[in-house]
Amino acid sequence: MEPNYSSTTVTPDTFERDFVFDYLIVGAGFSGSVIAERLASHSGKKVLIVDKRNHIGGNTYDHYNEHGILIHKYGPHIFHTNSREVFEYLSCFTQWRTYEHRVLTSVDGQLVPIPINLDTINKLYGMNLNSFEVEEFFKSLAEPKEYIRTSEDVVVSKVGRDLYEKFFRGYTRKQWGLDPSELDKSVIARVPTRTNRDNRYFTDTYQAMPLHGFTRMFEKMLAHPYIKVMLNTDYREILRAIPYREIVYTGPIDEFFNYRHGILPYRSLDFQHETHDTPVFQSAPVINYPNEHLYTRVTEFKYLTGQEHTKTSIVYEFPKAEGDPYYPVPRSDNNEIYKQYKALADAMLGVYFVGRLATYKYYNMDQCIAQALSVYGKIALKV
């Protein structure tokens, strides 16, 4: 069931008249919550953290559904990082469950490992190559390009057109609504092909899931007497009602400036959650569907959480243009718009812009946490 935070919710009439929050933090995702936690517990600052959603945790929010299965409301979130600092910081608020993520892709009627590895190639082409031979095989497929401009160039120059069509083209078209030939090379900056049989999705040093879920971890981060949480509230509703000294803003930067320089586009997703009356639904935590079907992937949560249950819950992801902002669209015209907003942001005093929406960057969780810790470090130098 979705938790009820009413006991921590504040309303304007609960304030003493001369009370002033040191910081108003907009957004209770990782970016806002990390800064709130640091400001309160390390700098002794009084913080009000506001989110327009009815829960903390931002996009990483997880909860037990009506069948008692722990699910991720906004799609699968797998924690992985090479940063010891980030891992140790989060370890103050959670125990961990070791988890190495694995993904299969449905190609030509078969399920094969992604990133592409030795087994992928052998299964797909009915061969029996070894690591040295597969390297030569990739070279024989590659179509070298003089200039790498687009995401298509990145893939075709590395593994050739057949693997590009099978694994990348359809998936990218669905995910971004654009052909890879129209997308900046940074979207598929690197094609992680492996010549060995390593079928882990990530190779980071630290790969683990919070033992009791992300939301429980956020509850611990925000459980400080100097932190008040206000949910179901757009910060603009309370700006004039609640006194504060400075703002940490983790919402969309174009919205903050009333879209003065235009709208920054995002890709959004529809999530179709289902529960099935069987202990196991599919043979891997995530199965990608690059070609057939309108959805991009299907996730079965029990693999991620380690939960045992007679039923199982899954989610389908359908990309779309409108809706909640999830993925900034990395095109040079959008970056130009962002630069204009950044200039406005840089000129403001007492407002800090942090996180993936406020900096218009696709950040993984660990990158958000690292950025938030770094911004907190700069604030702490001043206070």
Ligand X SMILES: Cc1cc2nc3c(=O)[nH]c(=O)nc-3n(C[C@H](O)[C@H](O)[C@H](O)COP(=O)(O)OP(=O)(O)OC[C@H]3O[C@@H](n4cnc5c(N)ncnc54)[C@H](O)[C@@H]3O)c2cc1C
Contact predicate 113/120, CB 8 Å? yes
| Nearer CB in complex with ligand X: 30/316 | 30
| Nearer CB in complex with ligand X: 122/371 | 371
Position 369 contacts ligand X (CB under 6 A): no
β-strand partners of 110: 107
- Applying CB under 6 A, the span of 24-32, 85-93, 181-189, 216-224 interacting with ligand X comes to 24-32
Residue nearest to ligand X (CB): 58
Give the burial class of 63: count Cβ atoms within 10 A of its Cβ; 0-12 exposed, 13-18 middle, 19 or more buried: middle
| Nearer CB in complex with ligand X: 75/290 | 75
Position 250 contacts ligand X (CB under 6 A): yes
Position 23 contacts ligand X (CB under 6 A): no
Position 222 contacts ligand X (CB under 6 A): no
> What b-and-e string marks burial along 241-267, b requiring 16 or more CB atoms within 10 Å of the CB?
ebebebbbbbbbbbbbeeeebeebbbb
What is the Cα 99 distance to its own chain's centre? Answer: 17
Position 267 contacts ligand X (CB under 6 A): no
Contacting residue, 235, 301, 341, 376, with ligand X by CB under 6 A: 235
How far is 209 from 214, CA to CA, in rounded Å? 8
Position 356 contacts ligand X (CB under 6 A): yes
Please give the size of the binding site for ligand X, defined by CB under 6 A.
33
Using CB under 6 A, which residues numbered 147 to 206 contact ligand X? none
| Nearer CB in complex with ligand X: 26/208 | 26
From residue 74 to residue 103, the character string flagging contacts with ligand X as x (rule: CB under 6 A) and all else as - is xxxxx-------------------------
Contacting residue, 24, 25, 26, 315, with ligand X by CB under 6 A: 26
How far is 208 from 365, CA to CA, in rounded Å? 12
Position 326 contacts ligand X (CB under 6 A): yes
For residue 369, the minimal CB distance to ligand X (Å) is 9
Omega before 325 cis (within 30°)?
no
| Nearer CB in complex with ligand X: 110/205 | 205
How far is 293 from 314, CA to CA, in rounded Å? 16
Position 52 contacts ligand X (CB under 6 A): yes
Provide the token pair at 16.
Answer: 């003493």
| Nearer CB in complex with ligand X: 64/362 | 362
β-strand partners of 247: 24, 351
What one-character-per-residue DSSP string does 273-332 give?
EEEESSS--SSSSEEE-SSSSS-SEEEEHHHHH----SSEEEEEEEEESSSS--EE---H
Instruction: List contacts with ligand X (CB under 6 A).
Output: 26-32, 50-53, 58-60, 74-78, 234-235, 250-251, 269, 326, 355-357, 363-366, 368
